Amino acid sequence: MNALTSTNFAFRGQKSVYHGKVRDVYNIDDKQLVMVATDRISAFDVVLPKGIPFKGQILNQIAAKFLDATTDICPNWKLATPDPMVTAGILCQGFPVEMIVRGYLCGSAWRAYKSGVREICGIKLPDGMRENQRFPEPIITPTTKAEQGEHDADISKEEILARGLVSPEEYAVIEKYTMQLFKRGTEIAAKRGLILVDTKYEFGKAGDTIYLIDEIHTPDSSRYFYADGYEDRFAKGEPQRQLSKEFVREWLMANGFQGKTGQKVPEMTEEIVAGISDRYIELYENITGEKFVKHEHENLAERIENNVNAYLK
């Protein structure tokens, strides 16, 4: 099984390229972006040494489906998907914050809460909450959009406005979009027997229009629980069955890695890599309700280059 872990294309009209943790983003004529979802995988803001076959295709196809399913809520950047691993869309100036919305207390928020923290991003949390407990209403806990190699940092709405990262008028729009998108994602997940636990959205501007950008409701940006058994497991204090990248973080933590200086990524055997790939396919099929079709190719980079150049022509 091939995995695409790096790209170095020269597309028609290409001005520049940005290599993110997972996606490689090509600027075409300062008008469009060609975003390649590679098979790289990151955790704790570290790119792991091996790629996960089909991960890029899975992320790209889930994001495309959800972008198409939310166009009535807000405009988004997507124009086309010229390859199973590629989305092309409108070049936007991204806001320097990520809008993280949480319906349940888990993941990093639970780890902070367990250590005694009772306020996240300016939002006060009551005592006595338990892991995986549902909030009365979803909460927005934004983070800064870190530069390469740096960690995203929690930030409050008040601080975002005080620092002028986003104007009050723009923030009101992206806050509204965030809650509406989360509601829609929750409804779609429920139809599939899933709970959308938390997720992140990114927004940007082109002209005077605010667009939803990047990915949406993928296993890299979201956490899902299986609805069946949630209440029973919660009552017994048992871990939830979940579909997200959290299982990768848990495997790393169990093997002594949390992205801290001096720590080494545990060996990623073929078995581990295949297991992660299978979990991503499981999530795709559960969240979309469709069978995953593997688009295999002996030279993924060549296929992408041909498809994207044909689209740009």
CATH number at residue 60: 3.30.200.20
Indicate whether 129 belongs to any domain.
Answer: yes
- Chain centroid, CA 156 distance in Å: 20
Percent with pLDDT over 70 in the chain? 98
Q: What is the pLDDT of residues 253-300, one digit of tens each?
A: 999 999 999 999 999 999 999 999 998 998 899 999 999 999 999 999
In this predicted structure, what is the pLDDT of residue 301?
97
Same domain, 193 and 104: yes
| Residue 170 predicted with pLDDT over 60 | yes
Indicate whether 256 belongs to any domain.
Answer: no
Which of the four pLDDT bands, split at 50, 70 and 90, describes residue 220?
A: confident
Indicate whether 135 belongs to any domain.
Answer: yes
Q: Is 153 exposed, middle or buried (0-12, 13-18, 19+ CB in 10 A)?
A: exposed
Same domain, 186 and 289: no
Q: What is the pLDDT of residues 54-103, one digit of tens each?
A: 999 999 999 999 999 999 999 999 999 999 999 999 999 999 999 999 99
| Encoded tokens for 207 | 């002209």
| Residue 148 predicted with pLDDT over 60 | no
Structural domain including 187 reads 97-244
Which of the four pLDDT bands, split at 50, 70 and 90, describes residue 244?
A: confident
Same domain, 227 and 123: yes
- Chain centroid, CA 33 distance in Å: 18
Indicate whether 120 belongs to any domain.
Answer: yes
- Of the ranges 48-52, 124-128, 175-179, 216-220, which one carries the lowest mean pLDDT score? 216-220
Indicate whether 252 belongs to any domain.
Answer: no
Q: Average pLDDT in the 165-193 region?
A: 97
Same domain, 65 and 159: no
Residue with the larger pLDDT of the pair 305 and 247: 305
Same domain, 87 and 106: no
Domain edge (last residue) among 229, 244, 259:
244
DSSP notation for 131-180: TTEEEEEEEE--EE-PPTTS---B--HHHHHHTTSS-HHHHHHHHHHHHH
Indicate whether 6 belongs to any domain.
Answer: no
What is the average pLDDT value for the chain, to the nearest integer? Answer: 95
Same domain, 143 and 232: yes
Which of the four pLDDT bands, split at 50, 70 and 90, describes residue 40?
A: very high
Same domain, 221 and 111: yes
| Residue 149 predicted with pLDDT over 60 | no
In this predicted structure, what is the pLDDT of residue 150?
62
CATH of the domain at 117: 3.30.470.20
Q: Average pLDDT in the 137-166 region?
A: 89
In this predicted structure, what is the pLDDT of residue 1?
73
Phi-psi region of 113 (alpha: psi -120 to 50; beta: other; left: phi over 0): alpha
Domain edge (last residue) among 225, 244, 263:
244
Same domain, 87 and 101: no
Same domain, 141 and 237: yes
CB 131 within 8 A of CB 105: yes
Same domain, 171 and 231: yes
- Structural domain tally of the chain? 2
| Residue 243 predicted with pLDDT over 70 | yes
Same domain, 67 and 80: yes
Q: Average pLDDT in the 12-21 region?
A: 95
